[in-house]
Structure 1
């Protein structure tokens, strides 16, 4: 077994140089608006494209959470597999996770406990070259320096199964859940805005039925979180929406990105 979860997309999706990475996050922070709601964050929905496209959107969720939570001890990152087929989901059994600014300890004992509790969890090393989860790690290292991580990459699984896992993780209020997803892919800017607004409204209202018609590569994870959020009476806080058009200038084929914080009203 490999000791470390190596960074697979550093230098492509985000900088592989620590100082450059810090510059990105500092730039995002300078553009962060005043937050208008006060929640106790328990879970995030964030995008996973290259930082030049979706980094600002993702950073908002992490910055908001860090401004209200100094007690996060563990972050469980859940994202869809883009590269390999997985029956169920794969949970990383490495010791640590490489990021350009330092390693993050993987909570192996917690990961093994989850694997024993849920039959759909296994460890497939080749599933852990996944960008949907990896791009979250530099943010986690930056904002939650004392936190350990757990990486879960899912494939052929139901949202109900993932929701049962989320419910188990939510038993510890010092654990943060991160659900990774992008929205619609490769429509015109106008069509993407129409489709993505539908998805955003569904998350805002915790409407599982409406999410059936949402286009998102991580829709299953979003549905699982929405299902759990309803059970726990969490409130969603919409932070941002944009598409790749803002950076590419190409309105003919865009990808949509959004970020949310979900948690308890304070």
Structure 2
């Protein structure tokens, strides 16, 4: 019997009707492509992404700027490892979902069994379905993956209290090759006035791009813990970060009195010398 994690935030964070959801996704991806396209069509894709996880009307356009870069990997990317922060259930460690698949209005995505087996023995990893049951940070990424990559397997991990080293250890165990993409789900600063948020978020972006080991704090990004783990692993694997988009809810669909920051990053493998 398949253990299905049903969609929990469809109709709230994104449309629950498949036709509307599909249309919205195509719109965001098309607009991101038109805004950011330059040069010949890429034949490779990033190893890792950082993308926001708010309601689509707020952060969908920013997330799309990252997802569009995965388009060349359709049919080649086999697994997406997704890490996001725990918003609803406090716990120590990194939580597996205890599910075989995740449902969205666009269908179900299977959980990668081999990936689960590869990390289940690590002391920081536990199976905690309740941490996944109502968590939006991972779920909102799934329709984008379905639109861009089709039927791909996922390894969704909710990150509770953990060290960057513990996160990086999980990422290293799942690193794989071009068939595996790592996705970190995180917004940036929360509920500052517009100008102040822009200043805070710009400093956070510079910190991430430096890749120098300086930790990101939770007042800078709700997903600071998985971001810090990725930055450790990215440094060790010689990835090169690139900022794709930086905006906030005051730029998209909200008031500028108290905004939430959103950024999209891609991390690329260094080109090999022939």
TM-score (norm 1): 0.93
Q: Alignment length, in residue pairs?
A: 265
Is 1:119 the counterpart of 2:123? The answer is: yes
Is 1:153 the counterpart of 2:158? The answer is: yes
1:247: how far off? Answer: 3.3
The one-character-per-residue Cα deviations of 1:39-76 (angstroms, maximum 9, x if unpaired) are: 64111100000000001111111111223564100011
Which of 232-241 and 63-72 deviates more? 63-72
Does the CA-based 8 Å contact 2:189-2:197 persist in structure 1? yes
Is 1:110 the counterpart of 2:115? The answer is: yes
Alignment CA distance shift 1:248-1:145 (3 Å): closer
| Separation of aligned partners in 2, 1:153 and 1:26 | 27
The one-character-per-residue Cα deviations of 1:159-203 (angstroms, maximum 9, x if unpaired) are: 110011111211343111100100000000000000000111111
| Separation of aligned partners in 2, 1:173 and 1:30 | 24
Instruction: Could you tell me which runs of 5 or more consecutive residues in structure 2 were left unpaired when the two chains were aligned.
Output: none
| Separation of aligned partners in 1, 2:77 and 2:185 | 18
| Separation of aligned partners in 2, 1:214 and 1:200 | 14
Does the CA-based 8 Å contact 1:203-1:226 persist in structure 2? yes
The one-character-per-residue Cα deviations of 1:213-249 (angstroms, maximum 9, x if unpaired) are: 8611001111111111111110112110111112344
Instruction: Could you tell me which runs of 5 or more consecutive residues in structure 1 were left unpaired when the two chains were aligned.
Output: none
Does the CA-based 8 Å contact 1:35-1:64 persist in structure 2? no
> Could you say what the CA RMSD is over the residues aligned between the two structures, in angstroms?
1.9
Does the CA-based 8 Å contact 2:215-2:228 persist in structure 1? no
SS at match of 1:41: coil
1:86: how far off? Answer: 1.4
1:133: how far off? Answer: 0.7
Does the CA-based 8 Å contact 1:40-1:265 persist in structure 2? no
